[in-house]
Amino acid sequence: MTTDVLIRPETDADHDAIREVNRRAFGQDAEARLVEALRLGGHVCTSLVALHAGRVVGHILFSDLPIVTRTGNVPAVALAPMAVLPAFQKQGIGSALVRQGLEACRGQGQQVVVVLGHPHFYPRFGFSSELATRLESPYAGEAFMAVELTPGALHGVTGRVQYAPPFEALE
Ligand SMILES: CC(C)(COP(=O)(O)OP(=O)(O)OC[C@H]1O[C@@H](n2cnc3c(N)ncnc32)[C@H](O)[C@@H]1OP(=O)(O)O)[C@@H](O)C(=O)NCCC(=O)NCCS
């Protein structure tokens, strides 16, 4: 990373800054509202902020995303949304958020992470669209990717991912 950045879990005091980072990065309100709805609904597993000089400049969130199979639910999490303030993009902050976010998920015992994102960006962290083809989702295609935090976690698993209800409002 070219910028001096600290990454840590969000606190209540970060909520306004997280809203602003999402608004500015996406150029709209939808993702900021999604973050708040996921928090309110108790769907958040991990939410990290990136701080530069004490200011929140980046944010990443992971929420519950069970895989519904014929024999029961397999736990998994969705990476979404992720945002870095425009002036701080392309300096490695987003990558650091993904890496530390995946570590935090692993530390919680999560085994599978799913993302809908840029096919050029996420494979460097182990995400694969091929791995995700066994998962039924409203978002099939090369942008829909999965990574196993435990090797083989998706072995033999086929089912439908169930996004938390606030994602429906994003359509
Ligand atoms: C996506 C985002 C968080 C990446 O943050 P960042 O700090 O710039 O990321 P890094 O500096 O670690 O990496 C930059 C890489 O991200 C790639 N990238 C990731 N997502 C991208 C996207 N949606 N569009 C274009 N490029 C993207 C860039 O091509 C670049 O690749 P390179 O390393 O091969 O040049 C940031 O660009 C952003 O906030 N974008 C707007 C919001 C968004 O689209 N979020 C992702 C969807 S949830």
Helix intervals (H) in the chain: 15-26, 30-40, 93-107, 129-132
Atom of ligand 1 lying closest to residue 60 CA = 3
**Stretch 144-159: mean pLDDT, rounded?**
96
Q: Is the CB of 91 under 6 A from ligand 1?
A: yes
Cα angle, residue 49 at apex, residues 46 and 54 outer, rounded to 5°? 150
Q: Give tens-digit pLDDT for 102-136.
A: 999 999 999 999 999 999 999 999 999 999 999 99
Is residue 2's pLDDT more than 80?
no
Closest Cα to atom 34, ligand 1: which residue? 121
Rounded Cα distance between 59 and 46, Å, is 11
Q: Give tens-digit pLDDT for 9-63.
A: 999 999 999 999 999 999 999 999 999 999 999 999 999 999 999 999 999 999 9
Distance of CA 154 to the CA centre of its chain: 18
Q: Is the CB of 123 under 6 A from ligand 1?
A: no
**Domain 6-170 coded CATH 3.40.50.970:** no
> SS3 for 36?
helix
Amino acid identity, residue 55?
R
Entry pTM: 0.95
User: Residue 140: its pLDDT value, please?
Assistant: 80
Atom of ligand 1 lying closest to residue 117 CA = 47
Farthest CA pair distance, the chain: 49
Q: Which of 3, 88, 80 is nearest to 37 (CA)?
A: 80
Sign of the four-CA dihedral 96, 98, 100, 103: negative
Q: Which of 6, 36, 42 is nearest to 20 (CA)?
A: 36
Q: Give tens-digit pLDDT for 72-109.
A: 999 999 999 999 999 999 999 999 999 999 999 999 99
